[in-house]
Amino acid sequence: MKHSDLLNVQCSASEPSAMPLSPTATRELLHQLEHLPNKKLGQNFLVDGNIVRKSIELAELDVNSAVVEIGPGLGTLTRAILASGASLWAVERDSTLAAHLRSNVVPGQPRLQLIEADCLDYPIAAIPSEQANAGYKIVANLPYAVSTPWMDAVLSGPLPQRMVLMLQKEAADRYVASHGSKTFGAISIFLQSAYSMHSRHLVSAQCFHPAPKVDSVLLRLDLKETAVHFPREIRECIRRIFTQRRKQLGSLCKKESIPGLSDWFAHLIAKGYSPNIRPEAITYQDWSELIKFQ
């Protein structure tokens, strides 16, 4: 995965006209709804117009765009997506917030389809399969608690053309980790085999209410022309291998019954890898070659 400069995106809370909800308005609306942000659900609401605009800019939306949003919350990003002219499918788990959206955002918005559900059960909302196969994008302030399992579900396909995601820096680091690092794992392989990183921006905690205790990242990922999509059996095998990442890959391969695995490992040795190599030291490109041996 190519590298990109890491830029800092600062808050612009002094520009209330650039955003649907200011920090004060967000707190007041949550108070009216008698709703306390749910830490377990990772509810940190965007209160910064600059970040909203940047997300829409990176997504490159227009009237022909089909978009999926995860966890629309109070609708800050939702309204901006709709303002671009795009059609939107959104999934919100919180019943209070879903009711608010149905009452205050959905009416008069024929281009918005909202479902109340868990995004792990509906990783691309309820977008019709024909639309998903024709091409769609994901734009989301992703709930921190579900970033990795949600991404794993998305990568089961059909794959979005582009993803613009706000997520915890630790999760973003796993997504784009290089082989040989402690954060490189199965999700790194699956994601990087299909997507290239266009840009990565650090985001201040003060751009959210409540302010999270961890750093955030706005990440744009673009689908590769030669995207590799791992079959379920291989994905599960790679996940099992990385649960024992400190063991030698050769011994781990012997425990698996996946066809072609031993031939693939022999291919790695022929390429110059050590017989004692560990899983995290193999590049994502070489992991993607496993498909050729099936």
pLDDT digits (tens, 9 = 90+) for 192-227: 999 999 999 999 888 888 888 888 999 999 999 999
| DSSP states of 125-145 | EE--HHHHHH--EEEEE--GG
Average pLDDT on 75-89 reads: 95
The tens digit of pLDDT for each residue in 93-147 reads: 999 999 999 999 998 889 999 999 999 999 999 999 999 999 999 999 987 778 8
The contacts of residue 183 (CB under 8 Å, 6+ apart) are 173, 174, 177
Residue 27 counted as domain residue: yes
What sign does the dihedral 94-58-186-237 (CA atoms) show?
A: positive
Q: Binding-site residues for S-adenosyl-L-methionine, please?
A: 44, 46, 71, 92, 118, 141
- What is the strand order of the sheet 195-203 is part of? 6-9, 195-203, 216-223, 162-168, 137-141, 66-70, 87-92, 112-116
In-domain check, residue 1: no
Question: Given the DSSP bridges, would you call strands 216-223 and 66-70 parallel, antiparallel or unpaired?
Answer: unpaired
284 assigned to some structural domain = yes
Q: Is residue 202 domain-shared with residue 236, that is, in the same domain?
A: no
Residue 257 half-sphere exposure toward CB, CA atoms < 13 A? 0
Main-chain phi, psi angles of 186, to 5 degrees: -60, -45
Q: Provide CB contacts within 8 A for 22, sequence distance 6+.
A: 13, 16, 47
Helix, strand, coil % (nearest 5) of the chain?
Answer: 40, 20, 40
The answer, yes or no, to whether residue 17 has pLDDT greater than 60, is: no
The answer to whether residue 55 sits within a structural domain is yes
Residue 32 Cα distances to 29, 40, 56, 97, 270, angstroms: 5, 21, 28, 12, 66
- CATH code of the domain containing 281: 1.10.8
Annotated binding site: 44, 46, 71, 92, 118, 141
Provide the terminal-to-terminal Cα distance of the chain, rounded to the nearest Å. 25
Total domains in the fold of the chain: 2
Give the pairing of strands 216-223 and 162-168. Answer: antiparallel
Q: Are residues 152 and 191 in the same domain?
A: yes
Q: Which residue has the higher pLDDT, 27 or 79?
A: 79
| pLDDT at site 18 | 34
Owning domain of residue 198: 6-223
Alpha helices of the chain — where are they, by DSSP H? Answer: 23-32, 49-59, 76-83, 95-104, 129-134, 147-154, 169-176, 186-192, 232-242, 249-255, 261-271, 284-288
pLDDT mean across residues, the chain: 89
- The reported pTM is 0.88
Nearest 10 degrees: CA dihedral of 201, 202, 204, 208? 60
Give percent of the chain above pLDDT 90.
Answer: 72
Compute the distance between CA of residue 292 and CA of residue 115 in angstroms, rounded to an integer: 39
Query: What six digits make up the tokens of 179?
Result: 């082989």
Which of these ranges, 3-12, 133-142, 273-282, has the smallest mean pLDDT? 3-12
Residues 17 and 144 in one domain: yes
Q: 116 lies in a domain?
A: yes
Residue 53 lies in a domain: yes
Mean pLDDT calculated for residue range 185-198: 97
**Pair (156, 240) in one structural domain:** no
Give the CA diameter of the chain.
66
Tokens of 236: 């599960």
Residue 181 sits in a domain whose CATH number is 3.40.50.150
Mean pLDDT over 166-192 rounds to: 95
Please list, in sequence order, all residues whose beta carbon lies within 8 angstroms of the beta carbon of residue 287, skipping any fewer than 6 positions away: 189, 193, 238
Residues 123 and 249 in one domain: no
Q: Which of 223, 253, 272 is the last residue of a domain?
A: 223
- Of residues 30 and 90, the one with the higher pLDDT is 90
